[in-house]
Structure formats: structure tokens, C-alpha cells
A = this chain, B = another copy of it.
Amino acid sequence: MSPKITTELLKQLRQVMKNPKYVQEPVQAYIVPSGDAHQSEYIAPCDCRRAFISGFDGSAGTAIVTEQHAAMWTDGRYFLQAAHQMDNNWTLMKMGLKDTPTQEDWLVSVLPEGSKVGVDPFIIPADQWKRMSKVLRSAGHDLVPVKENLIDTIWTDCPQRPCKPLIMLDLSYTGVSWRDKIVALRSKMAERKVMWFVVTALDEVAWLFNLRGSDVEYNPVFFAYAVIGMNTIRLFIDGDRMSDPAVREHLQLDSTLEPEFKIQVMPYGSILSELQAVGAGLSPKEKVWLSDKASYALTEAIPKAYRYLTPYTPICIAKAVKNASETEGMRRAHIKDAVALCELFNWLEKEVPKGTVTEIIAADKAEEFRSQQKDFVELSFATISSTGPNGAIIHYKPVPETNRTLSVNEIYLLDSGAQYKDGTTDVTRTMHFGTPSAYEKECFTYVLKGHIAVSAAIFPNGTKGHLLDSFARSALWDCGLDYLHGTGHGVGSFLNVHEGPCGISYKTFADEPLEAGMIVSDEPGYYEDGSFGIRIENVVLVIPAETKYNFKNRGSLTFEPLTLVPIQTKMIDVNLLTQKECNWVNDYHQKCREVVGAELERQGRHEALQWLIRETEPLVRVQ
């Protein structure tokens, strides 16, 4: 992977930063955030402005360009990748390390007095605007909105904004109709005494209307906003997607409906002016509910006194708690996904020793097996297929320049998943196709102990996920090891593979408490730079737990693994496991064998079934 040469681009950007055609006054710094106008983590090619200007294309990062400097903030998952992808014009700011300045503090330290810092008001979340603008102002600088996106002005071959057909999900997938979701939302609005709710996140629009799209790779969403009033529904969406009769039927656009369920369809680009009109027409006490992560532009459309901002919207919270139809769909999706991976690992076991399988071939093969499964739509993220030292690049994606051949001498890490119409998967397995060293097994076993500690944890109702994060690290910490990422994220139901408001990470505190029906990943790891990476990831469902004493009737929770793919026993140093951990592995493998075995049988995949049976032989612990 050679870095992108950005000298010329940065020169152009620095010119437009002073060009009165685009800026009222010159800006001495320009911020290029990661997201799009919906604060999406995964974005369409037309929104990949930070990657365009810097070369760094990981899923998280913020670039800031001043007259003299260009700096990139990203987190532990991407330290290596960013260092590889960016040229010497860029300084990497490693977030989470003690000595790394915040973006604001850095700006204050490098800017000349009385500077203007520009940013696209549609891209920057309101909460971030507020934080930055406060620090900058107190140091004598100004954060200013720059209407025209300055990257777009120099991005001559910027791709078009996608506008692909929609997928409708019926009740068998969603469990609840969009009408009932609107009713529930309005009741939450009434509780908080707000009159309007602005849906800005793409997955929230998709979830609310039981629609899916493919405007953004891996995330089955489409570009749209919605504004829900107590008696009106406005959907802001472009293209001829609303002329599809099936969509019209699904949204009952042509039916005689009670007026409060009549959807007004409006152009995507009219959201700001419509919202400004809403803002201008508010009577006292009429509040408008927005996510505090909605863009600064949309937030400003509502006068401050009328805003009701929360970190998590009622849709975000409702969406996180899966109903019975969604949970059943997720179970089905994970069984199909396991079938594909059994096929893949069986195939790899035969092919790797021949020395012909590269990371890209393996990733493609995984996609091929997945695509054979019913209701497969697409992958849920770019497959991380990494062998040997590439495994230590936490969010690695193989490209021809880095593509390494799998061998019997290196650890192979595969983190992959798919979108099926009934659910979203995300699974990581770490395998050795030869004989792992004692040290590799030792590290793998610590990671496994951490995985089990979370998966088998029992905790009271109301516990926040971040309180479980240390369980995943304890075995590693005991030996002085650790990993620089969180332990788990929320997973959507045929939606984004990363979703809020729950998760398992030392980095968050404002996560919502875990409750039965939420789905998160459990994925501790260990990474040795230049050598190997280990990660063991299951998607797990929060379920009620029976306990011996039910403290003050509070109720307890635990996790049920939805992912049912064997964990390679060859990598386990059984003597480092407790009997309880050993039983957990054996019970888990027994379930894989029964549930996935039956499906392999049904699909007539006999060789993969044999592989599954071999890989799920019980561990025996020598006392």
C-alpha cells in the first residue's frame, strides 16, 4: 500500500480556503469530518471527502488542514492503516493516547491569533460544533460555517450521489408496521411534550418506514430525511423511487388514509428550507426533537429555544431492542452465515497448504459461499481477510499491493459478515492451518477467556455495556497484554452493522443500559504489530438470565450467541482454561454442531458437515 500523494491537492485546498468565491473571509483552517450529512459511519463514494484529501480511507477519522499543517485524528483500530495510506504532508494524531491533543487544543496551539476555522455545516454534528466552537472562541478564534463544501470544489471527478431502488420489508421481517412505529414514536413525543421529530440518521429513516436501500455500500440504507409531526409525516427523498408501485403500495401513498398517516413526499434537497419553515412557524412551547448529533445546519434551522436535543433518539432506542420477528430473523441469518463459513473453512483447510490462496481470494470465496444463501443481499462491511502481520492492522482490507498468501505458517484472521433480508451478521475467527506456536496459542486462549467472560456474564437489568468491557480484558491484563479497541458494538437487524445506543466499550459512558432483545458483538482481540492479529467475535443477543437469588426483583441478563461458527480448538491451550470455560466452549460447539449441522445436512453440504463435526469435538482439560 503506497501513500496517496497529496501535495497538489493540499495546495489547491489552501487556495480555495482563501478564495472569496467560496468563503466570505479566508479561513486559516478547514475541518474535514468523516461523516456525511447524516453523520453516517459508512458513507457513499461521493461523501468520502476525508479519504479524497488524505488517502486514509478507514471508517473513522477527521482531517484538519491549516496553512502550514495537515493532521488526521483516528483511533487505535486505524493507527497502522492511516500511517500507511498518508504521505508526509500529514501528521497522524493517535486518539486515545495520553499525549494526543484534541482537535480543538491542537488548533489553538498552531493557529495565528484571531483565526477563522471553516467547516461544512451539513457535515459537522451540532454537538461537535458546540464543543469546538466554545474552545476556539475562548482562545480568540472563530468556527465558521462554509456553505459550499471546499473539498467538493477541488474534487473534479467526484462521483454522483447514489439513488438506487428501495427494498420493502413486510411484517414477517419487521414484526411491526411503519404505521405502528409512527404511533409509538408519537407517543414518545407526547411524553416529552415535543411536536416535531426530525429523523436525520439514514438507518433511522429506513427502520421507521420498513424500507431498505443500497445507496451506501454494506449499509442497506437510502438517502432521505423525515420530519414527523403529531399529524403529519414528511419524507424527503430523491429520484423516481417513489414511482415504484410496490413502494407506493407499501407506504400507502395512494390510499385513502387518516390524514395523520398520509406521507408527504418531498425532494431530498428541500429539508433545510422546510425545516426552517417549521422553525419559523412554531408557537411558544412547541419543541422540535433532534439528535444532538444532527448536523449543525439542520439544528440551526430550529431556533434554540425550541430545540429538544438528546444523544439518542426514540427511534434509535426502539430500533436497538429487537422484537420476536427480528430476533428470529437474526437467528436464521446467523445459521446461514455459519453454513457459508463452514464451507469456507473446509475449503481453506484443503487449499491453503497448496500456497495458492491469497487474502483476496479467501475474501471472495467467503462472499461466494454467503451469496449462495437464501435472502443474501450484500456484505455488511468490507471483509477483513488478513494473514500474518496484516492481522495486526485492526481494520485491514486486502488490496492488491498488500495481498498476502495464506500459509501453514501464519495465523489467519477473517472478520466478515453479510446482510440478509432477515438479518445482519458480523463474525471473526482466527485460524491456523499448520501448527501454531505455544505463544500464539497462549495469546489466543487469553482472548478466548475474555470472549467467554463477556458472553457468559450475568449482570443486573439496567447495567450499561461499558461496565462489562473489563471482563474481556482481565485475562490479557494479568499477563500485561491489552487491545486498543472496544469490545463490542450494537448490530442492526438487516441494517447497519454498527449501531447505537448500546455497546461494550471502556470509551463510552453515555451508552443506554442493556436490555433483553438488544444485540451486540463480543470481540476482544490481541495484536502484535508486525507479527499477527487475533480476534474472536460473536454477535450475541441480550436475554433474561435465571439466577439463584433475584436481588430485589431487579432481574438479571446474560448473552446468547447468535453466531454459531466453531472456534478453532487447535489454537486453544486447554490448560489455561478453567473447567467452566472449557464447558462453555464444549456447550457452544455442541450447539454449533446441532443447529448448523442440521442446516448443512438440509442443504446437502456433506463435506462441510464433516468439517463441522471434526471442529466441534469436545475439549478435554487435564486436571
Which residues of A approach B to under 8 Å, CB–CB?
Answer: 98, 138, 305, 457-460, 462, 464, 467-471, 473-474, 476-482, 506, 509, 545, 547-551, 554, 556, 578
- B467, B478, B578: the one within 8 Å of A458 (CB): B478
- Other than the known A479-B549, A480-B554, what 9 A-B pairs have Cβ atoms closer than 8 Å? A138-B305, A457-B477, A458-B478, A460-B480, A470-B471, A479-B548, A480-B549, A480-B551, A509-B509
The answer to whether A551 touches B478, judged by C-beta atoms less than 8 angstroms apart, is no
- Which residues from B are CB-within-8-Å of A477? 457-460, 556
- Which residues from B are CB-within-8-Å of A305? 138
A164 to B462, CA, bound (A): 47
A470 to B478, CA, bound (A): 16
Known: A467-B470, A468-B470, A471-B470. A478 touches B547 (CB 8 A): yes
6 contacts between A and B (CB under 8 A): A464-B506, A467-B470, A480-B550, A480-B556, A481-B549, A482-B554
A549 to B551, CA, bound (A): 39
- Which residues from B are CB-within-8-Å of A556? 477, 480
Residue from A468, A481, A548 with most neighbouring chain B CB atoms (10 Å): A481
A304 to chain B, nearest CB (A): 9
- Which residues from B are CB-within-8-Å of A549? 479-481
Q: Which residue of B lies closest to A529 (CB)?
A: B552
The answer to whether B460 touches A474, judged by C-beta atoms less than 8 angstroms apart, is no
A616 to chain B, nearest CB (A): 27
Q: Which residue of B lies closest to A471 (CB)?
A: B470
A471 to B98, CA, bound (A): 25
A302 to B550, CA, bound (A): 52
The answer to whether B458 touches A480, judged by C-beta atoms less than 8 angstroms apart, is yes
- Which residues from B are CB-within-8-Å of A506? 464, 467
A578 to B578, CA, bound (A): 10
A458 to B473, CA, bound (A): 10
- Which residues from B are CB-within-8-Å of A473? 459
The answer to whether A460 touches B482, judged by C-beta atoms less than 8 angstroms apart, is yes
A545 to chain B, nearest CB (A): 8
Known: A305-B138, A471-B470, A471-B474. A551 touches B481 (CB 8 A): yes
A440 to chain B, nearest CB (A): 13
A480 to B555, CA, bound (A): 7
The answer to whether B548 touches A480, judged by C-beta atoms less than 8 angstroms apart, is yes
The answer to whether A547 touches B480, judged by C-beta atoms less than 8 angstroms apart, is yes
Across the A-B interface, give the 6 residue pairs with the lowest CB-CB distance, nearest first.
Answer: A480-B547, A509-B509, A479-B548, A480-B549, A467-B470, A480-B550
- Which residues from B are CB-within-8-Å of A462? 98
Q: Which residue of B lies closest to A464 (CB)?
A: B506
The answer to whether A482 touches B551, judged by C-beta atoms less than 8 angstroms apart, is yes
A138 to B469, CA, bound (A): 36
Residue from A460, A480, A481 with most neighbouring chain B CB atoms (10 Å): A480
- Which residues from B are CB-within-8-Å of A469? 467
A444 to chain B, nearest CB (A): 14
A98 to B509, CA, bound (A): 16
- Which residues from B are CB-within-8-Å of A474? 457, 471
A146 to B550, CA, bound (A): 47
- Which residues from B are CB-within-8-Å of A481? 547, 549, 551
Q: Which residue of B lies closest to A137 (CB)?
A: B305
A469 to B469, CA, bound (A): 11
- Which residues from B are CB-within-8-Å of A98? 462
- Which residues from B are CB-within-8-Å of A457? 474, 477
A551 to B462, CA, bound (A): 33
A299 to B558, CA, bound (A): 47
Q: Which residue of B lies closest to A307 (CB)?
A: B138
- Which residues from B are CB-within-8-Å of A468? 470
A138 to B462, CA, bound (A): 29
A569 to chain B, nearest CB (A): 23
A471 to B471, CA, bound (A): 7
- Which residues from B are CB-within-8-Å of A476? 551
Q: Which residue of B lies closest to A513 (CB)?
A: B98
A480 to B482, CA, bound (A): 29
- B467, B478, B547, B578: the one within 8 Å of A479 (CB): B547
A514 to B476, CA, bound (A): 18
- Which residues from B are CB-within-8-Å of A547? 478-481
A506 to B470, CA, bound (A): 12
A479 to chain B, nearest CB (A): 4
A547 to B506, CA, bound (A): 22
A361 to chain B, nearest CB (A): 33
A112 to chain B, nearest CB (A): 15
A501 to B477, CA, bound (A): 23
A287 to B457, CA, bound (A): 49
Q: Which residue of B lies closest to A469 (CB)?
A: B467
A438 to chain B, nearest CB (A): 13
Q: Which residue of B lies closest to A545 (CB)?
A: B480
A110 to chain B, nearest CB (A): 15
A474 to B472, CA, bound (A): 13
